[in-house]
Amino acid sequence: DQQVKQNSPSLSVQEGRISILNCDYTNSMFDYFLWYKKYPAEGPTFLISISSIKDKNEDGRFTVFLNKSAKHLSLHIVPSQPGDSAVYFCAAPPFGSSNTGKLIFGQGTTLQVKP
């Protein structure tokens, strides 16, 4: 079973506060995870990634945390800005994949950041 799940369809936060988006996966053999952001009428854009050998990766306001024992990862956005309002997808290459373009995507979480 190789699935990536985002159980929260939506999240609303106030500008300046922290946004936390969550993602769970089913296969402990997954070794690489990515987050993509998608605005309406546009394609997804790559945001940040993390390898399973790490438990944290940071890029500016965006930090991804990986908890392998719980098969859970989260994306933290601090501070949140109205321009961050978008759909966020968690994704992972299936076990045994030779490249990270072949991805299993979660269903997405719609983030709304209120001014």
Partner 1 sequence: DAGVIQSPRHEVTEMGQEVTLRCKPISGHDYLFWYRQTMMRGLELLIYFNNNVPIDDSGMPEDRFSAKMPNASFSTLKIQPSEPRDSAVYFCASSGGSYNSPLHFGNGTRLTVT
Q: Which is nearer to partner 1, 13 or 106 (CB)?
A: 106
Cα separation, 67 vs 113, in Å, equals 26
For partner 1, the closer of residues 41 and 70 by Cβ is 41
Kindly tell me which of 13 and 108 has the beta carbon lying closer to partner 1: 108
Q: Least distance in Å: CB of 91 to partner 1?
A: 8
Chain residues that interact with partner 1, rule: CB under 8 A? 32, 34, 36, 41-46, 49, 51, 89, 98-103, 105-108
CB of residue 114 to partner 1, shortest distance in Å: 26
Task: Return the exposure string of 97-108: e unless at least 16 CB atoms fall within 10 Å of the residue's CB, then b.
Answer: beeeeebbebeb
Q: CA geometry: angle at 94 spanning 88 and 99, to 5°?
A: 90
Whichever of 6 and 63 has its CB closer to partner 1, that residue is 6
- Provide, rounded to whole angstroms, the least separation between the CB of residue 21 and partner 1: 15
Fill in the DSSP letter of residue 29. T
Residue 58 C-beta: closest distance to partner 1, Å: 17
Q: What share of the chain is helix, strand, coil (3-state, %, to 5)?
A: 5, 50, 45
